[in-house]
Amino acid sequence: MAKEEGYRSRAAYKLKQLDDRFHLFKGARYVLDIGAAPGGWLQVASEAVGEDGLVVGVDQNPIENLELDNVETIVGDILDEETLDEIRELLPGSVDVVLSDLSPNISGAWEVDQFLQIDLARMALKVSQDLLRRDGWFVVKVFMGPEYEAYLKDVKSAYRKVNVVKPLASRKGSAEVYLVARHLGRGRRPR
């Protein structure tokens, strides 16, 4: 279905379902997508913010050109100060939505994979605290497992409203869920 509708990945439908439920992009102009390759979420966000908006996608792997005027991509590590500087140069101040569908290279050793994925989610949380506007949305993929509860607690200490959601487009046996958070609170990192 994704190929038929021109999306780069079926993950695009996960974001569409989250947006249908939470209206993530209502009034949004600036979106940051962390771990954006191959670009399905960039396509959805681009449609949502329209030609007056800007979507910036960051990934360590190059993202094939989407040929969308309101999408810019950066190849880099989100924890690198140079990458953050590139993001800040493209975006005029705080962003409205931070998206993270980051996933490690799956090894098959579940505890290792879950730990690595939570580590990526922690990086995304840090970036959201640095770059998101106070009433913006933070959407992050998380693998359920031993580290999940501690991470959920961290997100809840940073955001006033946090929902745990499993989109219908997720595979049935998948341990992934999405945290959809809003209203950055006392956990905001200083600039």
Q: Which residues are catalytically annotated?
A: 141
CA distance 64 to 38: 7
Give the residue among 45, 39, 81 at the shortest CA–CA distance from 59: 39
The DSSP bridge partners found for residue 177 are 142
| E strand residue ranges, 71-154 | 71-75, 95-100, 132-143
* SS3 labels along 4-31: CCCCCCCHHHHHHHHHHHHCCCCCCCEE
- Alpha carbons within 13 angstroms on the beta-carbon side of residue 32 total 31
Tokens for 113? 């994979």
